[in-house]
Structures are given as C-alpha cells and as structure tokens.
Structure 1
Amino acid sequence: MSSLLQSFTTELRRGTLTLAILSQLRTPQYGYSLVQRLEVAGVSIEQSTLYPLLRRLEKQELVTSNWDTTESRPRKYYVLTAYGAEVYEQLKNEWTQMTSELNSLLKGEKDDEFD
C-alpha cells in the first residue's frame, strides 16, 4: 500500500474507530472485552490505539471509568456518560447520512442528475 493510500486509510479509520468504540460503551466494558466485541464485528484495533482513545474520550467527558477490584485481577470499566450518549446518537445520525450520500455517489446515482 502506498504511503498516500496509507495516510488516507488512517484518516478514515480515526473517526470510525471513535464511533465504533462509543457504540459499544452503552454498557460497561473493560479494554480487552471492548477489543473482543469490536473484533467480532470485524473492527480491529490495537491496544496502543484503544487506551489513548479511551483516555481522550474520558477527558472529553464522553465516557467515565471505574475500577472493579472484586475479581483477582482489577479491571477498569468504561461506560458512556449521558453527554457521551447524546454525542454518540448525533454522530450515528451523521454517519448514517454521510454513508448514504457517499454510497449514492460511489454508485454513480448522482451523475445522472447532471445530464
């Protein structure tokens, strides 16, 4: 893959990963469970990408985290805040509209309108 294509792919993935993560945090998830859920859906993410993204989302007050120390291995669980749920719904609506528009363009349906 050329470096230019790699750069474009990285840009595309950056926003979609945020949306994918927010979609899975309506219920509390810890890092590894989140990676597993995403992988089942066909979305791969490295832990070196996931944890900084989770910290950024927490700093933006979209998610909150809590440690669960009841198990032998402590786990940090992340979940959407009320504000995060609102932002997620808005992003989901934007995504739906944008993908519909792009699909239409990519299929060539809009080209016919200019003839």
Structure 2
Amino acid sequence: MDTDELTAGHLQELRRGTVVLACLIRLQRPDYGYALLESLNALGILVDANTLYPLLRRLEKQGLLVSEWNTEEARPRKFYRTSPAGRALAETLQAEWRRVDDALTRLTTGDER
C-alpha cells in the first residue's frame, strides 16, 4: 500500500464519524438530501452522494432521523430532520468531539497537563 492510499484510508475513517455528527446537527432544520449534500460540502465537510443517501437511510432506521415526503413542489422530495434521540446523540457526540479536540490541542502544543 502506498502512502497516498494509506493517507486516504485514514482520512476516510476520520470523516466517517464527522459526517454522522454533521448530519445530526444540520438536520435539526428539516431538509432534503441534495440540499444537505450541498450545504455540507460548502462548509468543507466533503461527502459523496453515494455515501450520504445510504447514511441518511441508516440513521432513519436507527431512529436518529425522521422523514416525510413533500409533494407540494413539482418534484417530490424526502425531507429529513433529526429526531429527539438524534438530538441527544448529537449533544453527546459534540461533547466528546470537544474533549478529543482539547486533548489533541494540548498534545500538539506540548501542554500535556
């Protein structure tokens, strides 16, 4: 395995959990898949549609998202929003994210108190 493949694999692992957290946070305001994809990418959270749509279905199956179809527009769209269980998980994940970020900051600055 060359260095580029190794790096790509580790970056993918790192992003996997962050995309879940980003979706749970972002979908506290209901939105449909493509708009979510665009907003995450605009924020620098790079995710492919082939990754996002299965993730949304999995999070819905886990009870972390709920969805409903909007058929009022010319094109029907499935809107997702974070469920109460999803909001609770997002809070837990954010707290852990902050703890790990703080620890890594201390580690990289040499302030290992």
Give the alignment's TM-score, normalised by structure 1.
0.90
User: Counterpart of 1:26 in 2: which secondary structure?
Assistant: coil
**Are 2:70 and 1:77 aligned?**
no
Q: Deviations over 1:26-66 (max 9, x none)?
A: 01010111012112211121100100110110111000111
Q: How does 1:1-115 map to 2 (within 5 A)?
A: 2-110=4-112
Q: How many residues align?
A: 111
Letter in 1 for 2:101: T
Which blocks of at least 5 consecutive residues in structure 2 are unaligned?
none
| Most deviating of 38-47 and 90-99 | 38-47
CA RMSD of aligned residues (A): 1.2
Cα displacement (A) at 1:108: 2.0
Which blocks of at least 5 consecutive residues in structure 1 are unaligned?
none
Give the alignment's TM-score, normalised by structure 2.
0.92
Whole-angstrom distance in 2 between the partners of 1:96 and 1:57? 22
Q: Deviations over 1:2-22 (max 9, x none)?
A: 222111111101111111111
Give the fraction of aligned pairs with identical amino acids, expressed as a percent: 43
- Which has the greater radius of gyration? 1
